[in-house]
Chains A and B, each alone.
Chain A
């Protein structure tokens, strides 16, 4: 993207205009997320910068919205529900998904394409349709409005991400290692945990992170499949945004942004590690 030294004036203007345009688009992408961070420290119940905040007056900033988040029983209930639902759903989709991904990457799997299409389908179908179907079906079998129902629904939504990341890791897995291990006398279970698992672990973890974020951030399905006692953090935010919007939402949003930065970093590190182990240079 360097401008050649012989560029004409028009080309120079065009070049810099392009860079400014790109800057503006990046601003559009990132600014909304960054704006809410300072707003969440607002001492007033406003959703805009008060004159005091613009003058960097320490009085105009406060942690009161964070205090509200950590003391308000509604938010605490929602947080504890989220923490109770997401890890269990993740565990379920990772356990079943990893097993299936290993099965799918064997050399002879009948109907591989059809099976793959079925396993990926929860990612393809729009959430509102999955939510509607699950609402109808789960109320038939008595799972609607139960903790188990929400966990099962979220586990199903997380499965495609585990399948995709783990099968991708399995592509680089050298199957002769398992044969070597079997040759040396290890049983299939021992081979799995001692040889296969350590090598595909980065893929499993990043698949698990995707499944976790899917469940943790999911609101449509839980809105229909869950009942008030399964109210999760996104659900509470959804209600807050729809009915009486309170600045506590901004504090929660800021906390979630920090969480997603941590997750993003983890996934990126894992991806690089996995590519290094497969002999590819990090891209």
Chain B
């Protein structure tokens, strides 16, 4: 219907281009424009202005499409490989797992890191998301993380009691602030508090962002890291102040670890904080400790399962091929890429079914569409225009209307079964199951896509000169031979165009299979929708979508090669 890319030069008349060609031909002395500049330069300027104007007209739409359409597609492609959740939720554990042999249960160090990560994750309620994510890869992960998340908030409590027994000041939030906060921050906060008290209620400014003391990273690295996370959480999530909140119990664990590793940590501190720390550093070697590994094993035996750890490690990269593997019925396991167990291999089946049904629909469309297109192309224009309306009306009718029509007609108690029973072809008890299975999808989609086959076929057949067939017959060919050897080969481009169009449209169909396909007549697109809105496995949905998109784009490339995208007819 459009020749848009053929260039409208034919009707544009004289353009700066024409002038440039003339100026170029002149040779010898440069031709001058009216204002004295060389004609060539002034024409070049005009040409550039024209290009810019054209681009300026196209730009708003281009930006619009890029933002509203291409960015979403790019987002989907990105989501099909994106996997930051493991490394974001368990950053310390992932680093510690680096040297793990992959077979035994990881060492105490890994479990300590896990404790730190999980306390923070559980406070933020991120652990359940991570659990559901890992559950796609290994069943049981979801309940494991849920269960552990409920139990981690008292980790380190036993150590805490020993610190408090040493000096009750350890229980005070102020002790921790004095030890870990930057003096500048303490001063800023005091000023802020004075301002807030003065304003009496009508005060919206948030507390100054918590800042760690200089050099604390070197002295007490673990405690500083965790306290910073704690302060940030209290300030942003709870909208409260770390000066007033009792620290998480896991901080005892961190402090204990720091002081055990570096007994001289207290040397840099002065005043009350220095005294407390020196005292604690001296006492720490005598503290009673429990192994984190045992603690976790007690919470859930799964923490001693190397496969669980293997799964965490396998998905610790920020990008993963896992979704694509899942979409191809493989899975990424600790031992590498494996085929899914027999009963979970559904995607090959679904892709195969989508392909098979699309091909069936395509062939039914050729079988039904070819005679109609032939008839329309060979009737006088007056009659064929009327008959064409019978093709265009379904084309223009709402998809939902056509699908509801088929849903009504194909039912067990529907019109088609009624007519068949009435005519005696089938008995009342033997009503055909025409809906909620593959038959239903194929019938309804053949009907819906048939116009897309007829219209390209018709436009190709109209260009076949009738004289060729007549010539073949006059040379002695029978009707059948003339059709087979002369007419049919000329109509093949139309068949190709119609087939690709119908095939492309049908493999991406969602609505009709969803409504009349039941469980056996659904396509890959129904599975994509299921993963988006029911199972919430967005990554897998994105991977399936990416594969489907790649197939469709490949087919369009073929279509463009054969027919040209611009020849798509809108009726």
Contacts and interface: CB of A to CB of B under 8 A. Distances in A.
Interface of A: 1, 11, 14, 18-19, 21-22, 25-26, 28-30, 32-33, 35-36, 39, 46-49, 96-97, 99-110, 112-113, 115-122, 124-138, 140, 152-153, 155-156, 159, 161, 163-165, 167-168, 170-176, 179, 210, 213, 216-217, 219-220, 224, 234, 237-238, 241-242, 245, 249-250, 253, 256-257, 260-261, 263-264, 283
Interface in B45-62: 47, 50-51, 53-58, 60-62
B8 A175 contact: yes
A173 B552 CA distance: 34
A9 to B, nearest CB: 14
Contacts of A138: 72
A25 B371 contact: yes
9 contacts: A25-B368, A28-B368, A33-B394, A48-B418, A107-B17, A126-B508, A263-B396, A264-B393, A283-B381
A100 B61 contact: yes
A193 to B, nearest CB: 15
Contact of A121 (B70, B378, B381): B70
B541 A33 contact: no
Contacts of B414: 47-48
Given A18-B371, A96-B61, A110-B51, 10 more contacts: A25-B372, A30-B390, A30-B394, A108-B50, A134-B72, A136-B75, A164-B1, A170-B8, A171-B8, A237-B400
A132 B402 CA distance: 24
Interface string B544-569: 01001100110010000000010010
Interface string B66-81: 1011111111100100
B514 interface: yes
A107 B53 CA distance: 11
A18 B298 CA distance: 79
B4 A115 contact: no
A224 B64 contact: no
Interface residues of B, number: 102
- Please provide the 5 A-B residue pairs with the shortest distance between their CB atoms, ordered closest to farther: A126-B508, A103-B57, A133-B72, A167-B4, A137-B72
Interface in B391-429: 391-394, 396-409, 411, 413-415, 418
Contacts, number: 310
Contact of B542 (A97, A136, A174): A136
A129 B548 contact: yes
B39 interface: no
Nearest to A104: B58
A11 B389 CA distance: 29
Contact of A155 (B68, B508, B532, B552): B68
Contacts of B389: 264
A1 B379 contact: yes
A128 B396 contact: no
Contacts of A237: 400, 404
Contacts of A283: 381
B439 to A, nearest CB: 15
Interface in B372-395: 372, 375, 378-379, 381, 387, 389-394
Nearest to B395: A264
A126 B526 CA distance: 12
Given A132-B542, A172-B11, A260-B393, A113 B5 contact: yes
B9 interface: yes
A156 B64 contact: yes
Nearest to A225: B72
B50 A253 contact: no
A210 B396 CA distance: 10
B57 A100 contact: yes
B3 interface: yes
Given A119-B61, A213-B396, A164 B75 contact: no
B479 interface: yes
A238 B65 contact: no
B76 A136 contact: yes
B85 interface: no
B7 interface: yes
Nearest to B538: A136
Contacts of A168: 1-4
Contacts of B62: 100, 115, 118-119
Contact of A174 (B11, B47, B378, B387): B11
B306 to A, nearest CB: 34
Nearest to A207: B570
A28 B147 CA distance: 59
A122 B401 CA distance: 23
A167 to B, nearest CB: 4
Given A33-B397, A241-B400, A1 B378 contact: yes
Given A30-B390, A96-B60, A129 B508 contact: yes
Contacts of B68: 134, 152-153, 155-156
Nearest to B451: A29
B286 interface: no
Nearest to A175: B12
A165 B405 contact: no
B331 to A, nearest CB: 22
B415 A48 contact: yes
B545 A129 contact: yes
B515 A105 contact: no
Given A28-B368, A108-B17, A256-B401, A250 B70 contact: no
A48 B417 CA distance: 10
A217 B400 contact: yes
Residue from A117, A168, A224 whose CB has the most chain B CB atoms within 10 Å: A168
Given A35-B415, A100-B62, A220-B510, A124 B57 contact: no
A33 B7 CA distance: 41
